[in-house]
């Protein structure tokens, strides 16, 4: 179990100081996969680096399986760190060493017997599906293969915890899925606790049991995606759809900001715990009996909840369109009129 208790960290540079982490309290149970999300600069890397004390917090405690790492130094700390593997966005492999040598490195540093090293490295390469690449150099591998080598190396000392700092951010979507599958497999087979940083909601949806949302150094929400999305938690919405939906060409030709005769509102609606897509369409179609066109839809489904955005062209009379928009406003359904088009 990982317990982060009242962790704070301020970076000071000349006259400037920046509080990167502000009194973070987070507990991660053994065997969990927890994703940390937050916008750029929110403190994600700093937080994950505090877990293995690559970054020393100014105050607070990092307690792992009951041992307070923040009180340890030197050899005692090094011994505890062996229990925590880490992988990075850019893999951080030794380009002058073969795949075998890269994976063997942590064991060599431990002065492990050569026969045992060979056996263990082969086991690890088998686990990550690279048994036939042992003698290759990292430069001859794809991004996904490099990350597999990094994962094998991170597991060399049989850690109970794996920290992943944007581990799939440099990979294409298909490779991302295969690395996530590998991480999930490792979590299940070896019961390794995984704490990962990501800015991709897909990563969270694919493998995380829980998500922790950081905002300006503060932990603003924790829970399963279903819980947070189901409650329409505002902390999640920036990671779902941040950009405005583009209006297609056939509508921009007649798009105008004010209502006049012959144009109809183009309305962007946010889907969250407050409103489900199906309920939204039922309201428009059956309750208000309003003709409409769905112009764009970007929807994620998690459990019973959905979240995302839809762009709808309401084609009713001026009065009924306005009544529906009033209903949205009264019901806390976030909406934004992008203009009026024919």
Ligand X SMILES: Nc1ncnc2c1ncn2[C@@H]1O[C@H](COP(=O)(O)OP(=O)(O)OP(=O)(O)O)[C@@H](O)[C@H]1O
- Applying CB under 6 A, the residues found at the interface with ligand X are 11, 13, 18, 20, 38, 40-46, 199
Question: Of 33 and 42, which CB lies nearer to ligand X in the complex structure?
Answer: 42
> Smallest distance from the beta carbon of 47 to ligand X, in angstroms?
7
Shortest reach from residue 37's CB to ligand X, in Å: 9
Least separation in angstroms between residue 55's CB and ligand X is 8
Q: Which two tokens stand for residue 262?
A: 């012959």
Identify which of residues 104 and 203 has a Cβ nearer to ligand X in the complex. 203
Q: Is 137 left (phi over 0), alpha (psi -120 to 50) or beta?
A: beta
Q: 13 vs 95, which CB is nearer to ligand X? A: 13
User: Alpha-carbon distance 40 to 296, whole Å?
Assistant: 27
Nearer to ligand X, 43 or 265 (CB): 43
Spatial distance between the Cα atoms of 317 and 290, rounded to a whole number of angstroms: 8
55-to-9, 50, 144, 160, 282 alpha-carbon distances in Å: 9, 5, 27, 20, 52
The closest of 144, 131, 133, 143 to 97, measured between CA atoms, is 133
Shortest CB 286 distance to ligand X, Å:
44
Least CB distance to ligand X at residue 199 (A)? 6
- Tokens coding 300: 């994620």
Task: Give the shortest CB-9-to-ligand X separation in angstroms.
Answer: 8
Nearest CA to 203 out of 300, 276, 303 is that of 300
Q: Which is nearer to ligand X, 40 or 139 (CB)?
A: 40
Question: What are the helix (H) ranges across the chain?
Answer: 44-51, 74-81, 99-109, 114-127, 143-154, 173-190, 201-207, 225-230, 249-252, 277-282, 318-330
Picking from 19, 78, 28, 29, the residue whose alpha carbon sits closest to that of residue 53 is 78
Q: Quick one: 11 or 336, whose CB is closer to ligand X?
A: 11
277, 299 Cβ separation under 8 angstroms = yes
Cβ nearer to ligand X, comparing 55 with 298: 55
CB of 56 to ligand X, least distance (A): 11
């Amino acid at each position: 179990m990982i317990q982060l208790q009242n962790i704070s960290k301020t970076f000071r540079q000349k006259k400037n100081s920046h509080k990167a982490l502000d009194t973070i309290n987070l507990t991660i149970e053994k065997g969990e996969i927890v994703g940390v999300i937050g916008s750029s600069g929110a403190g994600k890397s700093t937080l994950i680096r505090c877990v293995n004390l690559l970054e020393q917090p100014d105050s607070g405690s990092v307690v792992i399986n009951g041992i307070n790492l923040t009180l340890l130094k030197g050899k005692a700390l090094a011994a505890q760190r062996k229990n925590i593997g880490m992988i990075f966005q850019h893999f951080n492999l030794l380009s002058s060493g073969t795949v075998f040598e890269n994976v063997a490195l942590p064991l060599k540093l431990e002065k492990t017997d050569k026969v045992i090293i060979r056996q263990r490295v082969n086991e690890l390469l088998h686990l990550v599906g690279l048994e036939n690449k042992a003698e290759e150099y990292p430069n001859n591998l794809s991004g996904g293969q490099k990350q597999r080598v990094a994962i094998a190396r991170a597991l060399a000392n049989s850690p109970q915890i794996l920290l992943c700092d944007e581990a799939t951010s440099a990979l294409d979507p298909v490779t991302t899925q295969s690395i996530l599958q590998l991480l999930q497999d490792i979590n299940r087979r070896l019961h390794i606790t995984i704490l990962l940083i990501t800015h991709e909601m897909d990563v969270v949806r694919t493998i995380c049991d829980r998500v922790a949302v950081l905002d300006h150094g503060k932990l603003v929400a924790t829970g399963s995606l279903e819980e947070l999305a189901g409650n329409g938690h505002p902390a999640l919405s920036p990671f779902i759809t941040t950009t405005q939906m583009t209006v297609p060409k056939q509508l921009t030709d007649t798009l105008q900001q004010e209502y006049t005769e012959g144009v109809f509102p183009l309305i962007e609606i946010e889907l969250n715990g407050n409103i489900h897509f199906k309920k939204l369409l039922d309201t428009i179609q059956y309750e208000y009996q309003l003709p409409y066109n769905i112009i764009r839809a970007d929807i994620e489904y998690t459990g019973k909840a959905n979240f995302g955005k839809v762009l709808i062209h309401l084609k009713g009379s001026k009065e009924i369109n306005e009544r529906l928009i009033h209903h949205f406003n009264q019901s806390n359904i976030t909406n934004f009129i992008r203009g009026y088009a024919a």
